[in-house]
Amino acid sequence: MAVLAAKPAPDFTAVAVMADGSINENFNLKDYIGDDYGLVFFYPLDFTFVCPSEILAFHNRMDTFKKLGVKVVAISVDSQFSHIAWRETPTDKGGLGPVDFPMVADITKQIARDYDVLIEADGVALRGTFLIGKDGLVWHQTVNNLPLGRNVDEFVRLAEALQFHEEHGEVCPAGWNKGDEGMKDTAEGVASYLAKHADDL
C-alpha cells in the first residue's frame, strides 16, 4: 500500500456525473478543486450494500464540507451510466437520489491504481479516503477493507484540524475537536499541553 500522505495527490481526468446530473466527459481533479480543499473517496461498486450508506453520509454533510471549502469527489470503477441509474433510484429502493458531488467513472481502473486502492483480483477499489490540502498534498489517507464503512464525521474533523493548523500554526493533539486547544510544536508546548490535558487523553 502506497503512502500518499505528504505527497502530491495524483491528478486525473475522467468522465464524471456531476451534482446536477450532467455528464462531464473531461472532469479534472485539480481543475475541480482549484484553490479549495479536496476529499476524494473510493468505493467498490454501485448498487451494493455498505456503499450507499457511506455516499449518503457524505451527501448529508455537504453543507458542512462546503462551509469548510472542501470539494468532495466519489470514485468507483462503474460507468457514468451506472452512476446515473443509481442516482435516479430512490433510497427506499437501494438507490442514492441526486447526491451533491461528482461521481467519477474509473472504467480503466487507473485512478484506483494511482491511489493504490485497487484490488486487482476483484477489479474494485477498497474504501480509500484522501484529504487534499490547498497545497495539492495529501494530508490524510485511510483505507478500509470492503466490509467496514467509514465514519464521515471523522473527515469533517480532519478538515477542521488542517484548517486550525494553517490558521494558528499549532499542531492538533490526539482527540482534537473544533474549539479545543492546540499544541505548540516545541518541548515547552508539549509540556504545557500535557500538564493540563494528559489525564483526558
Examine the residue annotation and report whether 51 is marked as an active-site residue of this protein.
Answer: yes
- Beta strands 23-28; 37-42: pairing state: unpaired
CA distance linking residue 91 with residue 110, whole number of Å? 30
| Residue 165 CB coordination number (10 Å) | 17
SS3 assignment, position 196: helix
Among 127, 105, 124, 136, CA closest to 4: 136
Per the DSSP assignment, residues forming a β-bridge with 122 are none
**106 in Cβ contact with 76 (< 8 Å):** yes
Among 100, 90, 95, 130, CA closest to 17: 100
C-alpha cell at 180: 479545543
Q: Which amino acid is at 97?
A: G
Catalytic residue among 16, 29, 51, 156: 51
What is the helix (H) or strand (E) element at residue 71, kind and residue range?
Answer: strand 70-76
List, by residue number, the catalytic residues.
51
